[in-house]
Copies of this chain bind each other. A is one copy, B any other.
Amino acid sequence: MAGNTFGTLFKITTWGESHGQATGVVIDGCPSNIPLKESDIQKEVDRRKPASTSKISTTRHEEDKVQILSGVFEGKTTGTPISIIAQNKNIREEDYNDIKTAYRPGHADYTYELKYGIRDYLGGGRASGRETLARVMAGAVAKKILLLKTKTEIFGHTVQVGDIKAKKFDTDYILKNMGVTEKDQLRCLDQKTSKKMLKFIEEIRFREGDSVGAIIEIIIKNPPKGLGEPVFDKLDADLAKAMMSIGAVKGVEIGAGFKTAEMKGSENNDQMKIAGGKVKFLTNNCGGILGGISTGEDIVIRLAIKPVPSISKELKTITTSGKNISINTLGRHDCCLAPRIIPVAENMAAIVITDHFLRQTSIK
């Protein structure tokens, strides 16, 4: 029980079901005197919305108008809890009547009923992707703090859809060209490959009624040095938890990640030198984290995103009364989650970095 709070000093508690009245978050531990407007949060929340023109995303129209209900006075945070809320506007109960009595394959319907003995079947209830809205609200505040107190920037992009892989760029190039990524329907910087990916997705979606997985990469640029609290609250451990807690994520790797399995120590060890009076690492295989503590180099995280479970192909499942049936999952759904999970993952990263930044500054 009680798994909806995250963080030690920058502590967020989220709430809300897909088709409930509203979705929100309470942020406790935000430093005081941080300038904060609803538009700061709205901007980030809007990045999570499905592009209205998009062929790959849900056509559900979510307004997600953000309101700050507490913790801000005359445009500044007061150090007291910040309650942020968005009303749920577009509630169509009829869409879900047919899945009331069946467990959708790949969804959490079965496990929620198993665990709680009751299930809010409307749109997946708490297990819906809509839950991530509150994470983005909280992350927007974290990003504001990082901007003010550090030079940290956090951004993500799609590096693989199905077996189509984007070209590799270095992190400076990616940062400089964030505008391109941001406008891209798949949030893929490599524009040529993005087109291929998009074509592939359209085929899968419209011809096959199917969906597809992806890999995304989150980069934390200029993170504060010395963040992370060994041996359990290591920075990579808390990032891994934050990422794996996002619905569709099935794998997390830091730096060279699974490739380190095939590397030798002499290749993988990031050598160091002093140049111009500054400490430099010759490589960054560790992904900016050594012994669970940030080196100050870019923190690089890659996430495996599973294909959207809601598809129009018929699959075998069982009813709540224990009968074998086949169902498809109609409704307004995404086909490839990569572009929509990117802002969620970025914001979860921002929350982790902010929390550890506050934990670290406390010891001086």
Contact = CB atoms under 8 A, between A and B. Distances in A.
A95 B202 CA distance: 61
A89 to B, nearest CB: 14
Contact of A266 (B6, B23, B311): B311
Contacts of A77: 118
Interface string A117-145: 11110100111000100000000000000
Interface stretch (A45-53, A54-62, A103-111, A173-181): A103-111
Contact of A272 (B6, B261, B316): B316
A213 B261 contact: yes
Interface in A9-47: 9-11, 13-17, 20-24, 26, 28-29, 31-33
A237 B310 CA distance: 22
A132 to B, nearest CB: 9
B250 A253 contact: yes
A78 B264 contact: no
B2 A11 contact: yes
The count of identical subunits is 4
A31 to B, nearest CB: 5
A118 B240 contact: no
Contacts of A16: 69-70, 81, 83
A300 B194 CA distance: 32
Interface string A325-364: 0000000000000000000000000000000001111111
Contacts of A296: 114
Contact of A80 (B126, B237, B238, B264): B126
A61 to B, nearest CB: 21
A238 B241 CA distance: 6
A17 B119 CA distance: 34
Contacts of A189: none
Contacts of A204: 264
A308 interface: yes
A296 to B, nearest CB: 8
Contacts of A244: 234, 236-237, 239-241, 252, 254
A332 to B, nearest CB: 15
A33 B105 contact: no
Contact of A315 (B1, B120, B266, B292): B266
A5 B15 contact: no
A287 interface: yes
Contacts of A215: 258, 261
